[in-house]
Structure formats: C-alpha cells, structure tokens
Chains A and B, each alone.
Chain A
C-alpha cells in the first residue's frame, strides 16, 4: 500500500474516532483497511477519550438506573462463566489426549506376545485410532470456527455497506419528495403551451460556465419557474442569488424576481419566480449574485446567467 493510502487511512481512522465520517468515508475506510490489511488499533479512540475526560465532570447515576444496571449482572456473570467453562473443557482435553496417546504407545510397545495379550493389543490399537480421530475432529472444529469467524466478518462488512446504500437511497428519496410539488407545478405550467414562454439560460461569466437550465413564464397566470443545473451552492450568510425580469413595457429597469439560494448541487433545482410587480411581456431574465436579502437595484457586478428571447 502506498504512503498516500496509509496517510489517508490514518486521517479516516482519526475521523472514525471523532465520529465525523460520512457514509462514503466509512466505505473508503473499510476498503483501505481491507486492501492494506491495516492494523486496527484504538489509538485515536483512546486519545480522543483522554482529551474529553480531562474536561468531564462526573454526574451521579439515579438510583433506579443503578438498580437496572445491577439487575443485569447475574445473567452476564453466568454467560461469562459458561463461555469460560466451554473454552476450558476444550483446552483441558488437549494435554490429556497427548498423555493418553503416549500411554497407549508405551503399553503397545511393551506388550507380551502371547495369544491372551493380543486381544488387549488390538483394543489398545483401536483406542489409539479413536483418540487420533478425536484429535482430528478437534482440529476440524477449530478450523471450522476460524472459517465461521471469517465469514461473520465478511457478512458484517457487506451488511454495513448495504445499510449505507439504503441510507443514501432514503436520502435521495427524501430530496426528490421535497422537490416533487414544485416539479409538478413546473410541468403543469409547461403544458399550457399557448400562454407559457420558455427561454434557455446561458452562463454570463467564467465561474458559472457549467450552468444550464431554462425559465418558463406565463403572463396570464403571473406564474413562472426556473429550472437550473450546476449552479454553485451559495452561503446565504454571505450572498444570495437574485432574479431580475426585463419587461420594457413596464419599466426601463429590470424588475425584482425574488431572492433564492442553492443549497445542494445534485441535479435539477426548480425555483419559483417571486415577482413583486405584475409582468406583461418579459424579454429577458437575469440572475445576479447579491448581498444577503437581495438589493432593490442591482449594480450587476456579478451576473450569473441570462435568458433572453
């Protein structure tokens, strides 16, 4: 694994300890861990805990919670002891098997050669074979246990990955559901072909070159929408987009079409036009970037996009 991957893994592992990994980063962290067979340590968890503990003041538990916690003790203690007992039984049989096999061999090689002892010899040989079979069974069980542990780890990884995909899909569905009512209004206005005007947006300056979309407007309904793609997300505390409608029949100056934000850049965004004044025959629509809240009259210092007939 390259030093770049190692350093990336380290950064993601620190993020894991801080609890700030995004779903994509979780997948990346898991892939890097598997790809490079990274040692999974708890260094960052311990450090983060130490940093937090230094400023944590103890808060007493309620007596009811203490009682609930103490109620779980007997069951857990019994489980731990049962597990240890099961492990102990397997461990304790192993040295015994060795001694038993050795004893069989000693007896086998010191047997008298008369007929009576031949039966005993045969029985001992059979016991030795049985012991050997049991040893093999234990070895098989151990390797089956290891296989199961590997399978378990793999399945856990797959489950986490699938769960991440489901979460992503749910997020997408939620976003689409949010957009749906506007999309329906947009489509409905387009259906009204005779009255609805459609103009394509073109980017007006360098940083907005990738922008595409259109604006639709219906004079009779005084209703319109913009459909925009690849318009950069803005920080509403610093600036906001504002639409201007050029309607020469009404005024020489463009009319305010409303302030809006782009909060996510994933696909088509439908933005309703909020014209403060009635519009008659618009010939152009202009998007500018303005101070938060918009302006009454734009200096058009940052013109983002233009759509004109």
Chain B
C-alpha cells in the first residue's frame, strides 16, 4: 500500500482528479497503486497473461468509477483495493462457472453509508476494534485474508466442515462491521 497513506488520508487524493479526466493523476495512480493492485491480482490469478488483462480491467474500472469515491467512507487505497479484489474474485468465479458480481454497476451512483465510515479511522485503530472478535473468527480471518486460503483449504487445515467455514466467515464479517460501527460512533462522540 502507498506508504504515505498508511495512517489517515495524508496523501493528496488522486481519484477526485481522475474523475475530472486529469491525465497526470491517472499516471500517478498507476505509479502509486499499481503495485497494490498487482499484488491483489497475483494472490488469485497465477497465469501472467490473465493477471495482466485483469489488471488492465481494474484500472479501466478505477477511471470509470473514480467519481464514486468518498473519502469519508473509505481510504483511497481501500477503494482501489476493493475494485481490484472484486475483479479478481470475479475472474475466479468465471473459472468456476459461477455468476459474477464484480462491477460497481449495480451499486448507487455515490457509494456512501450513513452508519459506516472507515475513511477517518486509522488502520491501527481498526485492528484494535477487530481484536474484540472471537478467537476462532480471528483464526479463520487470518487463514483467509492473510494466508489467502480458500474455504476448502481452510476446511482441510482446521478439520471444520466447509459449510461451517463459509458461515463463520460471513458472520465474522457481519460482527466486524458492527464493531467498526461502534468504534466509529465512539470516535464521533469523543470529538
């Protein structure tokens, strides 16, 4: 991830400039976020040609949906990472002949959420909030998000049925959202 953005939104935002057709901002975006996008793509796609084509699709989508970025809702790197992640998952689903759900076409014009605001939360604080999750959920999160294991792989590794892994990851994400909301509210109240 771009080092200057690690805590808060300290870098000059590129997406609002891209939304206005600023070519220099587009170039800077490739330079700043290209490595992040490429690492997300390579976690899921091991064929180089396919990975490069997906990377191109992702930047196409970043240019297209730059105007939907809201710095109150997320950090720029998270928004770009999200597009990269969804596109890569989309590629995997296509390989498995499953329906794809990757583009933002189905989402509202301006993606905002009244109760969810990660844009102002530091990453360190976010992880502090998530530490309240149950141990087994954190373990599954670590296997899935950190080690990049699929549900099947986690099931074999932990000896938990694959259906249970799926349910626990989903419920863990719901619980995580609740914790982030509470943390966000608390932070708002402190101000």
Contact = CB atoms under 8 A, between A and B. Distances in A.
Interface string A27-63: 0000000000001111111111111111111111100
Interface stretch (A77-85, A201-209, A263-271, A286-294): A77-85
Chain A contact surface mostly = helix
A45 B21 CA distance: 26
B59 A69 contact: yes
Contacts of B11: none
Interface in B131-154: 141, 144-146, 151
Contacts of A80: 18-21, 63
A251 to B, nearest CB: 40
B158 to A, nearest CB: 14
Contact of B59 (A19, A40, A72): A72
A16 B56 contact: no
B181 to A, nearest CB: 9
Given A54-B123, A59-B42, A46 B78 contact: yes
Contact of B1 (A53, A69, A153): A53
Chain B contact surface mostly = helix
B92 interface: yes
A69 B43 CA distance: 20
A163 B99 CA distance: 7
Interface of B: 1, 18-23, 26-27, 30-31, 34-36, 38-40, 42-43, 52, 55-56, 59-60, 63-64, 73-74, 77-79, 81-82, 85-86, 89-90, 92-93, 97-99, 101, 104-108, 111, 113, 116, 118, 123, 126-127, 130, 141, 144-146, 151, 166-167, 169-171, 173-174, 176-177, 180
How large, as a class, is the contact surface on chain A? 35 or more
Nearest to B1: A53
Interface centre among A45, A55, A65 (most CB of B within 10 A): A45
B177 A44 contact: yes
Given A40-B107, A56-B1, A84-B21, A18 B170 contact: yes
Interface of A: 10-11, 14-23, 26, 39-61, 65-66, 68-70, 72-74, 76-78, 80-81, 84, 153, 156, 160, 163-164, 167, 170-171
A53 B111 contact: no
